[in-house]
Amino acid sequence: MLLRLAYLGLTNAFAILRLLPMSDREKDVEILALRHQITVLEQQLSGRRVRFEASDRAFLAALLHRLPAHALHRVRLLVRPETVLRWHRDLMARRHATRSRPKRGGRPRTVRSIRALVLRLAAENPGWGYRRLHGELLVLGVKVAASTVWEILKEAGIPPSPERTSTTWADFLRSQANALLACDFFAVIEHASRRIRVLGATAHPTASWVTQAAKNLVMDLEDAGCPARYLIRDRDGKFPELFDAVLKDAGIEIVLSGVRMPRMNSIMERWVQTCRRELLDRTLIWDQHHLMHALREFEHCYNQHRPHQGIANARPLRALPAPIDNPEQIAPINIRRQDRLGGLLHEYQHAA
């Protein structure tokens, strides 16, 4: 475009030089001839628009924009005078944009590790807005603009902080796991360690029996040093008000699950299902004494030996042992089985 524009300027400069020796009469005759040729061209186009190259538009705009509006309207052109003025405005806008373009590039793209750190902080702290995240980055020695943090969150599709601060039931259970118990009338389970405590069994769960079970639970928790703060239970009518009062005096708050919503007490419900599938459905219970013996044996196996996926396959009262890395120890491995309840439950361990 620039080369063609220079060519047009040069050729028209020679045309002006050619007009210098011409008289006014000769110039008028040439102007009339040009206007007539334009009229013939318009008739042949039959209303079709003439397409001008960018260099042609720039040359005509630079040549005609200084003419007064009334003089411009008298000039015979293939386009309207308003079109010529628009061409000139576009030409000036492009010229201004070219001059205003920065001589160096913008800010460099944010380092990938910083972006990952921002997203991690936002995921682990839903209540933090971009200003709080920006402050935390400064504390860590990472200097970025607050607007950069906002852009990273926006590109990742993370909503503003007020839309992320709502706590779900799963979040509540995870955050309070170390101080949370779940109850299903005859047993209590700790959410953090998955340790089970069998409260007892009776054919007639009276209010006094349930209240005594609560007192036994409180004493057991105090002896074990378990800092429980909440206990989730269902809305069974067998739980008297005194049951909640005993636990409240011990600093344990009662959390009621929703009506017909077993998932709100899912860990306890899962244990009940496990107890039925692995013990009660495979045992013929004779009396209450036999039932308590079976429950105590299952409680010991559950807490001391059975792995749990919810705690990375560890056991409630025993951590996972160190893995065996020595091939010489794996080859002659010797495993011994210990039976409980007549072989109903199996426990495996290394032979001495």
Could you tell me if residue 339 is inside a domain?
Answer: no
Check whether residue 66 and residue 13 sit in a common domain. yes
Check whether residue 159 and residue 174 sit in a common domain. no
Give the per-residue pLDDT at 117: 86
Give the per-residue pLDDT at 292: 92
Structure tokens at 325: 């890395």
Check whether residue 15 and residue 147 sit in a common domain. no
Check whether residue 293 and residue 213 sit in a common domain. yes
Check whether residue 175 and residue 152 sit in a common domain. no
Q: Digits of tens for pLDDT over the chain (352 positions)? A: 556 556 556 665 655 666 566 677 776 666 667 677 767 777 777 777 777 777 777 777 777 777 777 777 777 677 777 777 787 788 788 777 777 776 666 666 777 888 888 888 888 777 678 887 887 887 777 778 888 889 998 888 887 665 555 556 666 666 556 666 777 767 899 988 899 999 988 888 888 998 999 999 999 998 888 888 999 998 888 888 999 999 999 999 999 988 888 888 988 998 998 899 888 888 888 888 999 999 999 999 899 888 887 887 788 888 887 776 666 665 566 777 788 888 788 877 777 6
Give 308's DSSP letter: B
Is 180:263 a contact under the CB 8 Å cutoff? Answer: no
Check whether residue 117 and residue 83 sit in a common domain. no
Check whether residue 290 and residue 240 sit in a common domain. yes
Structure tokens at 302: 């559950």
Could you tell me if residue 340 is inside a domain?
Answer: no
Check whether residue 27 and residue 90 sit in a common domain. yes
Structure tokens at 342: 């007549």
Give the per-residue pLDDT at 214: 92
Q: Which residue has the tokens 């980055």?
A: 137
Check whether residue 35 and residue 122 sit in a common domain. no
Domain final residue, candidates 98, 121, 148: 98
Is 308:314 a contact under the CB 8 Å cutoff? Answer: yes
Give the per-residue pLDDT at 143: 79
Burial of 231 (0-12, 13-18, 19+ CB in 10 A): buried
Q: What are phi and psi of 294, to 5 degrees?
A: -65, -40
Domain span at 134: 112-163
Check whether residue 80 and residue 132 sit in a common domain. no
Give the per-residue pLDDT at 346: 80
Could you tell me if residue 238 is inside a domain?
Answer: yes
Structurally, how many domains does the chain consist of?
Answer: 3
Is 298:278 a contact under the CB 8 Å cutoff? Answer: yes
Alpha helices in the chain (DSSP H): 2-19, 24-45, 54-64, 69-74, 81-100, 112-124, 130-139, 146-155, 169-175, 207-224, 241-249, 266-278, 288-304, 327-330
